[in-house]
Amino acid sequence: MSNMEQDRWSRVKGRLRSSVGEDVYSSWFARMDLESVQDESVHLSVPTRFLKSWIQTHYSDKVLSCWQAELPDVNRIDVTVRSPARCSAPAKEAPAQVESRRDEQKSAAERSNGATPVSANHDALGGSPLDPRLTFASFVVGRSNTLAHAAAKQVAEGRRGDPVMFNPLYIHSGVGLGKTHLLQAVTWAGNAGSERKVLYLTAEKFMYGFVAALKTQTSLAFKEALRGIDVLVIDDLQFLQGKTTQAEFCHTLNAQIPAG
């Protein structure tokens, strides 16, 4: 993307933020990227199908008007879902951290045969895809995330029957500061042992799974499957939409928390 396009995109995002407000912008547009501007159309991308659907349904006219204030000839906004590898940008690191990360990646590659069964077991439970790079070993700990990191490790390292210190554990921060990294790290570490089943789901996957179960009249089996999980990890909880789905999620919590 050229400097001119970057400046133009920054101005459009500024108009959009002023138009919808900071809370709405952070929830729905903070992870939207500009891909290209071609003739009379603008191509944007988001990380999930749910975000794409929500923006197209509720905000397409507003996004278009913000672009038309910058480029009057634009008459179409195209939103696509980008590949998972591009959904999160790595944080800037000091040279020593970069060197340490390379050593960790090399070690991980040398023992990659041990990571495959963990991922396969997780997929067999119906979980959302896991990124093998998002582990505790690759997480950069700083003053702002020390508590979250320590709490996440406590959850990941617990054993079946142990007292549960954080239940539920809720991790909150701005966009791109490592929430997904910590949640997937909990899943990788938890499933590396043989005692517990740890399931990682995006809010989108949880919603689609529940709706599909309702349509096929298998909602009881869906509920029982979730209640058989030792540690249930839900990512992007702010995107959990619909009263029925939210109610079912609360029922799941009410069943999981007393059970430890």
Burial label for 258, CB within 10 Å (0-12, 13-18, 19+), is exposed
DSSP 182-231: HHHHHHHHHHHSSS--EEEEEHHHHHHHHHHHHHTT-HHHHHHHHHT-SE
The full length of the chain comes to 260
Question: What is the rounded distance in angstroms from the CA atom of residue 155 to the CA atom of residue 8?
Answer: 44
* 212: pLDDT strictly greater than 50: yes
Least confident of 14-28, 106-120, 224-238: 106-120
Q: What residue ranges do the domains of the chain occupy?
A: 3-82, 97-256
Exposure string (b/e) for 186-222, b if CB count within 10 Å is 16 or more? bbbbbbeeeeebbbbbbbbbbbebbbebeeeeebeeb
Confidence class for position 117, pLDDT limits 50, 70, 90: low
Q: How far is CA 218 from CA 22, 107, 203, 204, 241, in A?
A: 39, 43, 19, 18, 20
Its CATH class, for the domain covering 97-256, is alpha beta
- CA 225 to each of CA 80, 148, 159: distance values in angstroms, whole numbers, following the listed order: 32, 28, 20
Burial class (CB in 10 A: 0-12, 13-18, 19+), 148: buried
pLDDT of the residue at 100? 47
Listed range (36-45, 76-85, 173-182) with the worst mean pLDDT:
76-85
**What are residue 77's phi and psi, to 5 degrees?**
-115, 120
Mean pLDDT of the residues in the chain: 80
The domain defined by 3-82 folds into: GMP Synthetase; Chain A, domain 3 (3.30.300)
Q: Is the dihedral of CA 242, 205, 136, 94 positive or negative?
A: negative
Segment 71-85 mean pLDDT: 85
**Tens of pLDDT, residues 158-210:** 887 777 778 889 999 888 889 999 999 999 998 887 678 888 988 888 888 88
Q: What CA–CA distance (Å, rounded) separates 126 from 199?
A: 8
